Structure 1
Amino acid sequence: MPVRIVARCHPALEPLLPKPVPAGAALPDWLREMPSEAESPALGGARVRTLKHCPPLIDALGLGLLMPLAADLEITAEGISWDWSPPVIPDQLLSRAPVGVHVPEQASGAPLRLEGRAAIKFMNFWTLSVPEGWSLLFTHPLNREDLPFRSLSGVVDCDAFADGYVHFAAIWSDPGFRGRLPAGTPVVQAIPVPRGAAELETGTLDEAGAAASRAVQEALQAGPGVYRKRFRQRRG
């Protein structure tokens, strides 16, 4: 069953803000535009299937919600700027800037390699709530190496923290990027996760298990679409 996520913003900001979107409805342009097969010089010119044939990758792109950048950002050699003037909201303690900064010392001891790269915070103007017992995993949009930043991951109990605003720390991973990052650019992917520790059991395959595993391997090698048709669970 789908997990219901409720996103709310202040009514004074509603006309200005890009809305969160289900990730499956906002797949990246490069996925649609990439070929389904490509020639591989390493394999003597043989045609190989591309990532467009990889349901696990595509399913990851479609998980949960994409949280959007609030306003256009202009990236120059001098830094990040914006032309965005949201109204002052006296009954809220909200930033009027779409991004903030983190000083490098806040990452002291973490292997984030900040040399020459900015540590920023994408400001979020949406509260998010989930059913009791669920949390939200906020992470860099999955498989989105095309973005010039890398958002850090965190988990927030948004059943209890439903009235708070979660902001998103990120590293500007492409110091050479210049140009406009448009409002609505996905800055994190919010994925509902049930709370509770995972349990692990390890073991070895018996004869029947080994035979079943071999049959799956053979089926996957026999042609495209086997996982999608035979093993992928029905999506809600």
Structure 2
Amino acid sequence: MKTILIVDDEQKIREVLSSYLVHAGYRTLEAGTGKEALDIHRKEAVDFIILDLMLPDYSGEEVCREIRRQSAVPILMLTAKVEERHRLEGLSIGADDYVIKPFSPREIVARVQAILRRSANDLLAERISYNDGDLVVDTRTKTVCKAGQPVHLTPIEYRLIQILARNPGRPFSRGELVEKLFGLDYSGDERTIDQHIKNLRNKVETDPKKPTYLQTVFGVGYRFEGGRS
């Protein structure tokens, strides 16, 4: 049974989400502050985190950054901030998805299920090396290495590079990538993909401003380029 950590300072929200998630077959843990969330994450085997941005002690961004230093556990952010820059900031520090308040508990359950399902699926059953070993994607160990060094990726980033690397040279639209990552029922902004690509470039490209692997196809989306070795 997967364990979901719900982090929100509003007890009613925690209780409602917990009820829906338990009904969907998950075990839930609750935290009302950032400190409680970090303590639980250190002590418990958590499979997914639902994280509110507005907490009474630490901000959700601070909690997300700290968790990302230790773990690639999927994180879904809850935010009342509707501006695009706030959503992009959350994605840039390692969140896998976001939902704007007010929200439907059923939507939260659907997002959790979709992210966990896609995180568990292997798109590649092989070790693929590019440009004489400069970049290696290995799903047997679920690792990515750049210049011989392991690269720490979030589950969504890992899934995204698998999709692209499996189809070198093929352009993918943002809509296609959203569907493969989040499913047909995803109702968020397709531009979410841009931030995930930016994060990936910062991690796997020698010069993120002049990407070798993750290339923009203007008017379409993105494609992966790289000679297999």
Tell me which protein shows more helix as a share of its residues.
Answer: 2
Tell me which protein shows more strand as a share of its residues.
Answer: 1
TM-score by length of 1: 0.21
Larger Rg: 1
TM-score by length of 2: 0.22
